[in-house]
Structure 1
Amino acid sequence: MHKKPMTDKELKSLKPTDKIYRKSCSYCGLMVRVMPSGNKYFEFENKANKIRLAIGEYGDISLNKAKEIAFDMLSRLKSGENLKNSGVTFGTLADRLLEIKSATLAPSSIKRDRILLQKPKKLLNMDISKITTLDIIEAIKEFENGSDTPKRLFNLISQVYKSASHITRNITTDINYKYTFKSVSKQNYPTLTKTSDIKALMISIDEYNGYIL
């Protein structure tokens, strides 16, 4: 813990490691989370009330501005306000999840997940604590087109909620996917089962003298 508020110079000097770590920035509960990628994110933390809330990324938000926000959060908390309605959006938390996953997944996988998480546009700017199960269901049902997109999107949304367990309950556990969304039809292809048919096919392949296009 810092006895004095962290300075910009100290914040910039924090080096990434192979694991995520946090440092205190001020007495009012401002923390910085340093990612393996080197990105730094501000958070408000109050251990007495078991609260940790995202504020924003260093660079998008200055250290002084983050201190102001954390001080305001602490004041509101002391006045009895429920900080779980803090304005932390689903989109912000989705970005944070992808940042965490980028330490172990290939860039192509992160790009694929990012594209998927951008699909439910209604959710992106909503406060994570105000989203309902109906909002999630309606957002996913828009992509029931016979592909596996709904299932993949549901799993990613669930991951976002799991990563935000310090802010809100994982409401995706209230959704029974099997009985809420249409199942993807499995395509059955004809196959040879008789020994005589398989033998005839192998002979035909062996005797084929044409070209493979």
Structure 2
Amino acid sequence: MANATGELTVKEVNHSYGTGKIKVPVLFDINLHINQGEFVALCGSSGSGKSTLLNLLAGLTKPEQGKIFVSGEEISRFNENELCLFRRRCMGFIFQSYNLLPNLTALENVELPLIFSGVSGKKRRQKATEILNRVGLEGRIDHRPNELSGGQQQRVSIARALVNQPSIILADEPTGNLDSKTELEILALMREMNRENGTTFIIVTHEQEVAERSDRVIYMQDGRIVEKRTRPA
């Protein structure tokens, strides 16, 4: 595989759920290009197809028709093992519900991607500690999720997504469970990481604050992209 970049291209993608005669179309004629380092909000009402599109970009679902290129690789052609290795190398994920393991400390949760990548114990602890400090969790690294606030848990989730230095972060409603003050703090943190590292962020969101602070907003309706709006410089 070539060196990873944060560029994504979707070409003529159509997708349905179900098999045989019982199929429900969910995406229609999706064409999209996202440049490396963009901070993109993917917006639309429930059922518009935005989460399905995010799953396709992540390689968690293969498109029924069309092609998806990530970092110059046509991931829609990869087998499951190739997809797993590709995600591990190129992608980080942030979830609305944080998806932290409750019996592990913040440090241990952030170390997990490094374990899967074969990083040694000493190096893992060093990298995980550094990124937790970067996201403002000094003094909290030995706390378990139930000892942290929602905003702190999301900071752990962001640290875990970034610890392998992926070229792309895919986020599904990352501020959906947070109060408005914490939402702005988390959004500012993601923006900071985007600018400092050149990491591409693609965020599925209902939140207007996220859309207003993005480089570009892609609106979906009934399985189609209906508008692409770039924020004025």
Q: 1 or 2, which has the higher strand percentage?
A: 2
Q: TM-score by structure 2 length?
A: 0.27
Q: Larger C-alpha radius of gyration, 1 or 2? A: 1
Q: 1 or 2, which has the higher helix percentage?
A: 1
